[in-house]
Amino acid sequence: MSRLVVVSNRVSLPEPGGASQGGLAVAINAALRQYSGLWFGWSGQSTPEFTGRISTRSAEGVTAATIDLEEQDVHEYYNGFANRTLWPLFHYRIDLTAFERAYGSGYARVNRRFAETLRPLIERDDMIWVQDYHLIPMARELRERGVENAIGFFLHIPWPAREILVTLPRHQQLVEALFHYDVVGFQTQEWLDAFIAYVRYEAGGEVLPDGGLRAFGRTLRAVALPIGLDAEEFATMAASAPAVESFERMQESKIGRKMLLGVDRLDYSKGLEERLMAFERFLADHPEHKREVFMLQISTHTRSDVEEYQDISARLDALSGRINGACAEMDWIPVRNVHRPHGRDELAGIYRAADVCLVTPLRDGMNLVAKEFVASQVEDDPGVLILSRFAGAASQMKEALIVNPFSQEDVADAINRALKMDISERRARWRTLHEGVAKHDVAAWRNAFVMLLEGAGLEQPPEKSNRK
Ligand code: GDG
């Protein structure tokens, strides 16, 4: 069996207790757990000058190889092009997108540095799987260095509509870089369709009879492959002592009230302010529910060096403070606004204690919180999932209450409906959702992608299968 080499911006091996990790790290850890794989990426540390020195560490059968980046790299590539250009743009926030040449150069430089450092570690039969928007040009850089192995790419975030993407200077260069991969995966058919539309109408490419895409003189296979949870691991964790403890602690603190839960990285794409305003609207429309219900919003800080993230943090605190000031009573607070990160096991207990989970991003590649919430429920008394139609997860989780997060009325109505839903409907919806989460798990995602990558390796001409 070929070795799997995963390349992503950050590498974060599991730690005891499961410290806070973003969706991608959680998924890659789960995907590599049963693979004797290599995981290559940035250590998260910066040095005044780039050294290219590789540090390795192993845990649970996964070897991590990391490099430090130069301070300027972190500024221009990570905080810059990745998180101030591509992230907002791909989440439809042109208003927040920074178009700066220095960011583009930093992005190209870091991708080059990644490729140069990774090159000597690649063995003949390795399959290489590059993750996410930070590393789109990786395949081109590796090919330029003679790598002929099968290389795949998976985009964890949405692929934007063509009309949005063309606002990016040198958008064609970015898309052309993708054509150096053999397989490119998107979370949903919708993002894949948007990519195909760009290839056809902007790049003059075509869809081949076998489903392949051809443009820029190259061919790739593009697929929609939704990411999933390690559902089994999650179920085990949900039954662990820390999970049971946090569940009991939550139950006690609910004192018979219903809990609405939100769990998100503090990010403007997650629709946090809109969600709080919808909750305020719900309280105004349904005063009979006051005192019977509260919202626990857990939003952990990420990317705190980026200005837009400091802004959203301040706005969210102000908004929850305003709602509490206006609505709270001496023995009831409507919003519990928590920034402290929790262990994953602790989180599983909190999910289980929730009566309703609000997953209302304005745009989201997939959203694993929706799946984690479902995986944490027990059949006796499952909670209700309210899910934004703009999360990739909505294409799979149709038994959730699907809402438009931009409409406070719509979300407020869904909260009311969720709170009133009888137990048989809750169980029926949950059962179907749970089946889906268990079936389309992270192993299914990994296996399907790796199979395509293996196929791509076989399709190479003979001189290419001797590649190094
Ligand atoms: C990107 C895409 C896609 C949150 N708070 C805590 C904590 N979390 C964990 C959750 C979940 C993860 O963070 C968030 O995952 P999401 O999928 O919701 O979102 P992104 O981080 O934006 O991930 C997304 C994903 O990649 C995978 O492809 O689904 O669309 O944007 O796992 O549980 N974890 C811990 N403590 C916290 O306080 N331990």
The rounded distance, in Å, linking the Cα atoms of 115 and 143 is: 9
Do residues 31 and 126 share a domain? yes
DSSP per-residue letters across 225-279: ------HHHHHHHHTSHHHHHHHHHHHHHHTT-EEEEEEEES-GGG-HHHHHHHH
Q: How far is the CA of 148 from the centre of ligand 1 (A)?
A: 33
The rounded distance, in Å, linking the Cα atoms of 392 and 293 is: 28
Q: Can you read off the two tokens belonging to residue 318?
A: 């102000």
pLDDT band, residue 271 (cuts 50/70/90): very high
Residue 61 pLDDT greater than 90, yes or no: no
Alpha carbon 178 to chain centroid, angstroms: 20
Closest C-alpha to ligand 1, atom 25: 23
402, 342 contact by CB (below 8 A): no
Do residues 246 and 302 share a domain? yes
Average pLDDT score over the chain: 92
Q: Which ligand 1 atom lies nearest to the CA of residue 154?
A: 28
pLDDT band, residue 466 (cuts 50/70/90): very low
Do residues 254 and 180 share a domain? no
Do residues 241 and 187 share a domain? no
Do residues 410 and 312 share a domain? yes
Higher pLDDT, 166 or 2: 166
Q: Which ligand 1 atom lies nearest to the CA of residue 368?
A: 17
How confident is the model at residue 1, as a pLDDT?
A: 66
Q: Which ligand 1 atom lies nearest to the CA of residue 18?
A: 39
Do residues 166 and 305 share a domain? no
Do residues 331 and 428 share a domain? yes
**In the predicted model, what is the mean pLDDT of residues 157-170?**
97
The model's pTM is: 0.95
Out of 83, 225, 265, give the residue to mutate to test ligand 1, the one with the largest number of ligand atoms within 8 Å of its CB: 265
Do residues 237 and 339 share a domain? yes
How confident is the model at residue 21, as a pLDDT?
A: 59
Q: Which ligand 1 atom lies nearest to the CA of residue 365?
A: 30
Q: Which CATH number fits the domain that encloses residue 100?
A: 3.40.50.2000
pLDDT band, residue 56 (cuts 50/70/90): very high
Do residues 113 and 158 share a domain? yes
Q: How far is the CA of 439 from the centre of ligand 1 (A)?
A: 20
Domain extent, residue 26, equals 4-228+443-464
Closest C-alpha to ligand 1, atom 23: 23
Q: How far is the CA of 23 from the centre of ligand 1 (A)?
A: 3
Please choose, from the candidates 136, 131, 135, 130, the residue with its C-alpha nearest in 3D space to the C-alpha of residue 174.
136
Higher pLDDT, 233 or 290: 290
* Rounded (10°) CA dihedral 272, 275, 277, 281: -170
**In the predicted model, what is the mean pLDDT of residues 132-156?**
97
Pocket around ligand 1 at a 6 A CB cut-off:
18, 20-24, 26-27, 156-157, 227, 263, 265, 298, 300, 341-344, 347, 364-369, 372
- Residues marked active site are found at 156, 364
Higher pLDDT, 84 or 14: 84
pLDDT tens digits, 292-338: 999 999 999 888 888 888 888 899 999 999 999 999 999 999 999 99
3-class state of residue 220 by DSSP: strand
Q: How far is the CA of 456 from the centre of ligand 1 (A)?
A: 30
The rounded distance, in Å, linking the Cα atoms of 12 and 19 is: 10
How confident is the model at residue 15, as a pLDDT?
A: 65
How confident is the model at residue 358, as a pLDDT?
A: 98
- Counting the structural domains of the chain, the total is 2
The secondary element (H helix, E strand) that includes residue 105 is helix 101-118
Q: How far is the CA of 25 from the centre of ligand 1 (A)?
A: 8
pLDDT band, residue 127 (cuts 50/70/90): very high
How confident is the model at residue 468, as a pLDDT?
A: 34
**In the predicted model, what is the mean pLDDT of residues 51-68?**
89
Strand bridging mode 258-265 / 293-300: parallel
Out of 90, 368, 371, 397, give the residue to mutate to test ligand 1, the one with the largest number of ligand atoms within 8 Å of its CB: 368
Please choose, from the candidates 101, 153, 165, the residue with its C-alpha nearest in 3D space to the C-alpha of residue 127.
153
Residue 244 pLDDT greater than 80, yes or no: yes
Q: Which ligand 1 atom lies nearest to the CA of residue 299?
A: 5
How confident is the model at residue 59, as a pLDDT?
A: 77
Residue 354 pLDDT greater than 60, yes or no: yes
pLDDT band, residue 19 (cuts 50/70/90): low
Q: How far is the CA of 333 from the centre of ligand 1 (A)?
A: 27
3-class state of residue 317 by DSSP: helix
Do residues 246 and 296 share a domain? yes
The dihedral through the CA atoms of 100, 181, 364, 204 has a sign that is positive
How confident is the model at residue 463, as a pLDDT?
A: 42
3-class state of residue 14 by DSSP: coil
pLDDT band, residue 235 (cuts 50/70/90): confident
Go through 177-211 and write b for each residue having 16 or more CB atoms within 10 A of its CB, e for each that does not.
bbbbbbbbbbbbebbbebbbebbeeebebeeeeee
How confident is the model at residue 458, as a pLDDT?
A: 65
Go through 379-391 and write b for each residue having 16 or more CB atoms within 10 A of its CB, e for each that does not.
eeebbbbbbbebb
Out of 369, 374, 441, give the residue to mutate to test ligand 1, the one with the largest number of ligand atoms within 8 Å of its CB: 369
Do residues 427 and 448 share a domain? no
Percent of the chain with pLDDT over 70: 93
Higher pLDDT, 454 or 89: 89
Closest C-alpha to ligand 1, atom 33: 369
Q: Name residue 296's beta-bridge partners.
A: 261, 336
pLDDT tens digits, 326-336: 999 999 999 99
Closest C-alpha to ligand 1, atom 10: 369
pLDDT band, residue 197 (cuts 50/70/90): very high
Q: How far is the CA of 366 from the centre of ligand 1 (A)?
A: 10
How confident is the model at residue 25, as a pLDDT?
A: 73
Do residues 22 and 49 share a domain? yes
